[in-house]
Structure 1
């Protein structure tokens, strides 16, 4: 498929595309190196075979300059069943325009947020107009972001206010939303609702609050540990005032003389970009080297060459979960800034140096991983079915989803590689308002490159020969 660089005239009554150029007519230079091929020994989820086949050969975003050891994935058996609703948020009504059809269109949109709709929390030009047009014309869309740090209900209310468009958590997906599936037990896994989990990332203890709203009952933060045991990190004075206002007593003390009564961490979740990389890295490393997750212990299996992975992570250490792999993201700064993927690369480097290159067993979700796109398609399908009776039209078949993003390493790669078990085509559109730098060659080529989200919608509607008008 040829890449199209698209421009539009200021007003386009019939959505006629102009100045379509093949990719060969414009040269770019890669902003980031292409993602290296990974060959992870993933465990299968309870998902369709098509997903398992794709995921076992998927590519991981670059976390370091040398190939990363395989990643083991052994959770999220119920990922496909994800669908959330919140009683405090009602599904928005969809006013129809005079050109709206008698049935929902057979296409829909998925939008990234940062760098597409917002930049540093401020709406980007014409973002509201793009969403409002879709809203008024019964064209379904979802917001699919690798961001997070707040509960879905809070973020949706915030976005609705900023963008001036009614939104619902029923068409909103954050990077850490799937973590709630690990709360309850199933036939194949033990739930973590009553286990003690470490949650890192985000402002203050907001991610702890999100985890508790998901159903985790015993949530500990690195700040809790630091305030209880300041010697765990020698430079504790620098952030002591910050942590003092956001910490709670630990559920158990560190009691190495009586381990059953000592603090034990059963899982580690990186919900959002960590603010204190040093402390978080130290505590996570301590737990990965521990005996069965008891903080302050060191497993005697570490480095044992007679064991798999030379004994590393072979002694009941807590599972490690990351919510997204983005190395960079768009902020108010004129150049992209390091994201959670940067923290992962840093932690992996420390792990590699500590273990002499042992495999780091971890689970990574978020774009571009297929699990996130499977979930997104399920949410979008259910959302279309909900809109159908609300707007008095038929849902019909969903043939195509336009993924609009600013990051070639996540939005574009994920859409390009995802193979829908429903046969839905995912078409990638790259905008110039975020991570991607205009004039460079994206590491993963989209179907089209456009100025902004408004032009992305206009281009997609032109592709679908939509009979409406968008100016």
Structure 2
């Protein structure tokens, strides 16, 4: 028998409240009370610190929540302590990832609190009206993300391979797979008429590539072409009188990577190769073709994601905006003082820790690195990049930072 509408609405509201504001005790004596997050609650105590959490190896391992992850985020929400999730993962639109995380962690996450590796690509407006090549992710999900970011003409390696299977004969067994989601190319590959041939204006690696051979071949073709026109070969390649021995000196499109991680923590008990592994393989191929450092040739590219400065700048700006919006939402009307500290909680010394240690904040904010033992880092070993603090898990990180370092008293 169907419930009456008012009862159904009330039950849904009660369920939502019970998942976001549980009455279960948190670890080490901390408890979340329902009375703390009532509608209209005003904020009188303003935290001058915030958190940035990696996801894989900190909150989740693959798709499974790690112990005490949910409790940690619930505690911060109850205390009105702002946080963002800053991940080198990606491959889906932010709204899809948030919905998945909310389901797994049983917690509400505002859209502004979530930043993944390719989120900054959405701000590259100069390429929105051009033809871009997008690589990585499952099927063509990253194409959908790029389109939702506002890029109007998006091509994938699968589109090119489906139209021209001979471009990479070693994936012939996957042709039907690619044809299942490939879209028609905006122009043919026609080297005899380069003015009418497919032209790529920028290359974006949105997520970890699945078919390294195909993707490497197409990136190589684009970077050796004249002005990104597929099927052409630049006459400047190998010219010793030009910078970089003539390579990438003929209006070839820029190359962007969203994620530098060589390794990441998956379900398998040992770390797996990530997008950084693909980049290393591509650079090896590029070096073999061009002569590499011995010939004074580099692979020009822009790498986003942790530990790189642009990603931390983007994250800090988003966190400052999110913090102020959170306080206003809670009824605070006074001046919002600058953010003094951000605790970057991560599992990977090469990305989370290195990035926080090296980040130079234009706002004067101190980014404090905290390494957890639940992901890539192997307990008992000496990390290559030393964090300010090593803790067991995410709850230990929150307790150490908020209570021991900031002297935060539970409300």
Give the TM-score category using the shorter length: 0.7 to 0.9
Counterpart of 2:357 in structure 1 is: 416
Assess, with a 3 A threshold, how the Cα gap between structure 1 residues 332 and 100 changes in structure 2: closer, same or farther.
farther
SS across alignment from 2:383:
coil
For 2:263 and 2:30, how far apart are their aligned partners in 1? 37
What TM-score results when the alignment is normalised by the length of structure 1?
Answer: 0.77
Please state how far the C-alpha of 1:359 moved relative to its aligned partner. 1.1
1:203 maps to 2:131: no
For 1:423 and 1:292, how far apart are their aligned partners in 2? 41
Counterpart of 1:463 in structure 2 is: 405
Counterpart of 1:390 in structure 2 is: 329
Assess, with a 3 A threshold, how the Cα gap between structure 1 residues 383 and 404 changes in structure 2: closer, same or farther.
same
Q: Write the deviation string for residues 138-182 of structure 1: whole angstroms up to 9, x where unpaired.
A: 010000011111111111111111111110221111110111122
**2:310 paired residue among 362, 371, 374:** 371
1:340 maps to 2:269: no
Q: Write the deviation string for residues 277-301 of structure 1: whole angstroms up to 9, x where unpaired.
A: 0000000001111111111111111
**1:134 paired residue among 72, 76, 83:** 76
Please state how far the C-alpha of 1:337 moved relative to its aligned partner. 0.3
For 1:311 and 1:102, how far apart are their aligned partners in 2? 62
Please state how far the C-alpha of 1:241 moved relative to its aligned partner. 2.5
Assess, with a 3 A threshold, how the Cα gap between structure 1 residues 100 and 128 changes in structure 2: closer, same or farther.
farther
**1:218 paired residue among 145, 153, 177:** 153
For 1:194 and 1:370, how far apart are their aligned partners in 2? 27
Counterpart of 1:106 in structure 2 is: 48
Counterpart of 2:14 in structure 1 is: none
1:180 maps to 2:122: yes
Counterpart of 1:89 in structure 2 is: none
More helix by share: 2
For 2:173 and 2:371, how far apart are their aligned partners in 1? 41
Higher relative contact order (CA 8 A, sep 6+): 1
For 1:210 and 1:192, how far apart are their aligned partners in 2? 15
Larger radius of gyration: 2
SS across alignment from 2:344:
strand
Please state how far the C-alpha of 1:234 moved relative to its aligned partner. 1.5
Assess, with a 3 A threshold, how the Cα gap between structure 1 residues 392 and 264 changes in structure 2: closer, same or farther.
same
For 1:144 and 1:448, how far apart are their aligned partners in 2? 19
Assess, with a 3 A threshold, how the Cα gap between structure 1 residues 157 and 428 changes in structure 2: closer, same or farther.
same
Please state how far the C-alpha of 1:396 moved relative to its aligned partner. 2.8
Counterpart of 1:317 in structure 2 is: 252
Please state how far the C-alpha of 1:313 moved relative to its aligned partner. 0.6
For 2:266 and 2:238, how far apart are their aligned partners in 1? 41
The question of whether the paired residues in 2 share the 8 Å contact of 1:96 and 1:137 is answered with no
Q: Write the deviation string for residues 392-428 of structure 1: whole angstroms up to 9, x where unpaired.
A: 2354331111000000000000001112111111110
SS across alignment from 2:203:
strand
For 2:283 and 2:324, how far apart are their aligned partners in 1? 42
Q: Write the deviation string for residues 291-317 of structure 1: whole angstroms up to 9, x where unpaired.
A: 111111111110011111111111111
For 2:194 and 2:266, how far apart are their aligned partners in 1? 45
**1:233 paired residue among 148, 152, 168:** 168
**2:393 paired residue among 452, 460, 471:** 452
> Where does structure 2 lack aligned partners over 5 or more consecutive residues?
1-25
Please state how far the C-alpha of 1:100 moved relative to its aligned partner. 9.5
What TM-score results when the alignment is normalised by the length of structure 2?
Answer: 0.88
Runs of 4+ that moved beyond 4 A: none
Counterpart of 1:265 in structure 2 is: 200
Alignment of 1:158-173 (within 5 A): 158-173=100-115
For 2:38 and 2:386, how far apart are their aligned partners in 1? 35
Please state how far the C-alpha of 1:260 moved relative to its aligned partner. 1.3
SS across alignment from 2:181:
coil
Alignment root-mean-square deviation, CA: 1.8
The question of whether the paired residues in 2 share the 8 Å contact of 1:115 and 1:405 is answered with yes
Please state how far the C-alpha of 1:249 moved relative to its aligned partner. 0.7
For 1:14 and 1:153, how far apart are their aligned partners in 2? 31
SS across alignment from 1:235:
helix
SS across alignment from 2:77:
helix
Matched length: 374
SS across alignment from 1:449:
strand
For 1:439 and 1:367, how far apart are their aligned partners in 2? 24
The question of whether the paired residues in 1 share the 8 Å contact of 2:70 and 2:106 is answered with yes
Q: Write the deviation string for residues 426-467 of structure 1: whole angstroms up to 9, x where unpaired.
A: 110000111111111111001111111111101112211111
For 1:337 and 1:250, how far apart are their aligned partners in 2? 33
> Where does structure 1 lack aligned partners over 5 or more consecutive residues?
1-9, 16-93, 184-190
